[in-house]
Structure 1
Amino acid sequence: MPRVVWLLVIARAINKLGAFSLPFLTVLISSDFGASVTTAGLLSAAFGLATIPSRLAGGRLAGVLGRRRTIVLGLTGCAVAQLAIAAADSLLQVAFFAILLGLAFELYEPPSQAMIADAVGPADRVRAFSLLNAALAVAGTGAGLIAAAVGRWDLRWLFVVDAVTCLACALALRLVLPADHPRRHAATADGDRGAPVHPWRDRALWAMFSCGTVFALVAMQVMMGLPLTLAGRGLEPADAGLLFTASAVTVVAAQPALRLRRIAALPDTAALALGYALMTVGLAGYALAHSLPAFLIGTGLWSLGEVLVLGRVFGVVAALAPPGGSDRYLAAYGISWGIATTAAPITATQLLDRFGATVLWAGTAALCLALAAAQPLLVAPLIGRTRPAGTEPETGKDTETGKDTETGKDMETGLAARRPRAARAD
């Protein structure tokens, strides 16, 4: 992997080590300010809603201010908001700074993901994004241990420590990432310059975004619903931490499998369908599980599926973007997580309360099965467009060797480097 990929992965993992405060936001609101559970939930939902414009702003600011500046701005904004939450002395202040945190929370993601996508060739994007996913999984496990230690002292200190890691990450990336340079407008297929990028006019992106929103909802429902399910079936709710740790171990252990020839050679939609199918089996296992070993088996299966999905989706979205437009495309795709963060606390708890754990996990598995079926039937025809006749793949410089490399053609998926103008520009 190029140096910039390792820098972003390591910095993001360090930042993730401190990202343990958000699950305790509702607890802080309830315990320190006497708010009801409903009020605490609404404020958490407001945070989730604020992350949606934050993600879009991250993609736009990356093109206006530069990627490094946007990354530093987002991390610094998160630190300021979390320090303010830790120092707040009223519920109104906490609500204001929680929304402010949401508005800064996703600024980092589009430029960092775009830098990773642009730093490697299309054939290496699966490994690059899988490496990022594995690092975040390991760091997330460490974050839980830190939260358990610091949270016993004072919940407000969770936000302080999180803010410190954000500032440390911002400073490190400010020093080591390449400086921002004025970015020229990308040439369109017709050769003219200056045409704006319009991700939402791209039907292929809409297909990826729709599937990504359902996938994110599934992932967030696992986070929200698993501890409650364990409690409802007579197990210790804290054992959810063991299951999430098992998931992180599975994600890391499965990384070498992505380099196996049969898996690496799969078309993107086939790999995504396989990933969703594995998630279907694992989550269906949750519907039937009544012992910790059974839950561990289900966790391992859906985690293997998640490895395949997360390793591919960002590479596919980046390949759909026109030259210079990966920030905007990744930002548009990423708001699926904001939608899921807002919806999952409601859907998971309502399904559990009204119908029980069996229906929750059977329904969640059904969503994954529908995603698996949608890949060859609906998604593949849209993202598998052929290169227009007479066009040649673009070439660029490898960031490590300086040699010319083909960057315009995805060797694994056949995604066209140059899309019809109507699909991406006004």
Structure 2
Amino acid sequence: MPRAVWWLVLARTINRLGAFSLGFLTVLITTEFGADAVTAGLIVAAFGLATIPSRLLGGVLADRFGRRRTIVTGLAGCALAQAGIAVSGSVAMTAVFAVLLGLVFEIYEPPSQAMIADAVRPAQQAQAFSLLNAAMAVGGMGAGLIAAGLGRWDLRWLFVVDAATCVACAVVVRFVLPADRPAPAPPGDAPDSRPGGSPWRDRSLLVLLVFGTLFALMYMQVVMALPLALERRGLPAADAGLLSTTSAVVMVLCQPLLRWTAPLSHHAAMCAGYLLLAAGLAGLAVAGGLPGHLAAVVVWSAGDALMFGRSYAMVSNIAPEHARARYLSVFGTSWGVATVLAPLCSTQLLERAGPAGLWGGLSATCVLLALAQPMVVGPLLRRRPARRTDRHRRRSVTPGS
């Protein structure tokens, strides 16, 4: 991997180490200001909705003003908003800074993903994106430990430390990563080079967005429903933390093994990943004790590691070079939509069908998504990448490519 990828991975890990404060936002609102749970939930929901335009803004800024500038701007905005929450003296002020945080929270993502796509060859993109996902998992493990310590002292310090990690990440990006290059001119054959064109008019991207949203919705339901499902089966809800840590470890251990799957086409790898997800979810459906849940999470996490990088690599492959960050930002809105819908869907399924019905239904959904890869996604990619592959081949012979 190029050096820039490793620095981005390091910066992402640092930033993720501080990304624990949001889970305590509702607690801060209810305990510090005496607000009720409904008010706290509305404020957090407003934050979640604000992250959707935030990601789109990050894509536009990255393509127009440069990757590094946009990353630093987004991280600086997050640091200011987090500090604002830490010093807020009322519910209203906390709500304002929470919404502001949402509006800058996802600006970082599209330019960092686009920078990785710019730095590596198309054949390496899936592994590079998966490495970035593993860095987030590692940072998440450390974040839990930091939160456990600081949360016992003062909740406001969680947001202070979160702001500090954003500043540290911005410093790494500003002084280590290469400077922004001039934005490439739109080629005449690019899908959005016509006047008024946009990624939203690219049918191939919209198809990938639909599948990406279904995957994100399923993934977020697992994250949000797991503690409740464990309680329904008589296990401690806190065991979800152990399962989450296990998942992160498996994703890291799978990184060297991804080289073996590099020869697979994107849709073939996605199909295999969905089948692993289906097997893991089926294991959750029939698991009784903690060992069964751990085994199921191992299988699920292996599928996640195989799929995550591939999905973003597919988007990078169909995106015109001058609009790569915007394509990635549009695709990334799937996570914002899933974050809003997942709590509603998972709680309803859990209430009506129980843990077995929830995990079984999600497993069946994975099987359908696996079947859709060779039937829909495969033909879609075979129609699109030919002229882009030629362009990448021309770039591969230039110095520094």
User: Which TM class, normalised by the smaller chain length?
Assistant: over 0.9
Whole-Å Cα distance in 1 between the matches of residues 239 and 118 of structure 2? 40
Q: Equivalent residue for 2:268?
A: 270
Read off the aligned partner of 2:223 and give its amino acid letter. M
Shift of 1:397: 5.5
Shift of 1:64: 2.3
Shift of 1:278: 0.7
Q: Equivalent residue for 2:311?
A: 313
Asked whether 1:364 is paired with 2:359, we answer no
Q: Equivalent residue for 1:72?
A: 72
Give 1:277-426 correspondences, 5 Å limit. Answer: 277-385=275-383, 392-395=390-393, 403=399
Give 1:108-127 correspondences, 5 Å limit. Answer: 108-127=108-127
Read off the aligned partner of 1:342 and give its amino acid letter. V
Aligned partners of 1:78 and 1:105 also within 8 Å? yes
Aligned partners of 1:45 and 1:341 also within 8 Å? no
Q: Equivalent residue for 1:104?
A: 104
When residues 383 and 395 of structure 1 are mapped into structure 2, their CA distance, relative to the original with a 3 A threshold, is closer
Aligned partners of 2:59 and 2:111 also within 8 Å? yes
| Superposed CA offset, 1:168-223 (max 9, x none) | 11122111122224324221229x97856521111111111111111111221121
Q: Equivalent residue for 2:87?
A: 87
| Superposed CA offset, 1:236-275 (max 9, x none) | 1111111011001110111122111xx2221111110110
Shift of 1:394: 4.1
Whole-Å Cα distance in 1 between the matches of residues 204 and 334 of structure 2? 15
When residues 89 and 264 of structure 1 are mapped into structure 2, their CA distance, relative to the original with a 3 A threshold, is same
When residues 286 and 193 of structure 1 are mapped into structure 2, their CA distance, relative to the original with a 3 A threshold, is closer
| Superposed CA offset, 1:60-106 (max 9, x none) | 01122221111011001111111111111211111111111110000
Aligned partners of 2:184 and 2:321 also within 8 Å? no
Give the TM-score normalised by the residue count of structure 2.
Answer: 0.94
Aligned to 1:324, the other structure's residue is in SS state helix
Q: Equivalent residue for 1:225?
A: 225
Whole-Å Cα distance in 2 between the matches of residues 103 and 165 of structure 1? 18
Read off the aligned partner of 2:144 and give its amino acid letter. G
Aligned to 1:325, the other structure's residue is in SS state helix
Asked whether 1:253 is paired with 2:256, we answer no
Asked whether 1:138 is paired with 2:142, we answer no
Shift of 1:387: 6.0
| Superposed CA offset, 1:366-413 (max 9, x none) | 222221121111222222216668x94444656xx96476xxxxxxxx
Aligned to 2:115, the other structure's residue is in SS state helix
| Superposed CA offset, 1:274-303 (max 9, x none) | 101111111122122220001001101110
Whole-Å Cα distance in 2 between the matches of residues 4 and 14 of structure 1? 15
Aligned to 2:383, the other structure's residue is in SS state coil
Aligned partners of 2:63 and 2:324 also within 8 Å? no
Whole-Å Cα distance in 1 between the matches of residues 305 and 146 of structure 2? 25
Structure with higher helix content: 2
Aligned to 2:183, the other structure's residue is in SS state coil
Give the TM-score normalised by the residue count of structure 1.
Answer: 0.89
Read off the aligned partner of 2:362 and give its amino acid letter. T
When residues 286 and 155 of structure 1 are mapped into structure 2, their CA distance, relative to the original with a 3 A threshold, is same
Give 1:176-195 correspondences, 5 Å limit. Answer: 176-189=176-189
Aligned partners of 1:185 and 1:194 also within 8 Å? no
Aligned to 1:24, the other structure's residue is in SS state helix
Read off the aligned partner of 2:174 and give its amino acid letter. R
Whole-Å Cα distance in 1 between the matches of residues 313 and 384 of structure 2? 17
Whole-Å Cα distance in 2 between the matches of residues 294 and 404 of structure 1? 48
Whole-Å Cα distance in 2 between the matches of residues 82 and 249 of structure 1? 29
Percent identity over the alignment is 56
Whole-Å Cα distance in 1 between the matches of residues 264 and 165 of structure 2? 38
Q: Equivalent residue for 1:411?
A: none
Aligned to 1:337, the other structure's residue is in SS state helix
Aligned to 2:189, the other structure's residue is in SS state coil
Aligned partners of 2:279 and 2:299 also within 8 Å? yes
| Superposed CA offset, 1:309-341 (max 9, x none) | 102111110010012211110010000011111
Whole-Å Cα distance in 2 between the matches of residues 47 and 291 of structure 1? 36
Whole-Å Cα distance in 2 between the matches of residues 13 and 351 of structure 1? 34
Whole-Å Cα distance in 1 between the matches of residues 172 and 197 of structure 2? 31
Asked whether 1:14 is paired with 2:14, we answer yes
- For structure 2, the residue ranges without an aligned partner over 5 or more in a row are none
Shift of 1:234: 1.1
- For structure 1, the residue ranges without an aligned partner over 5 or more in a row are 406-426
Whole-Å Cα distance in 2 between the matches of residues 388 and 272 of structure 1? 20
Q: CA RMSD for the aligned pairs? A: 2.2
Q: Equivalent residue for 1:418?
A: none
Aligned partners of 1:66 and 1:180 also within 8 Å? yes
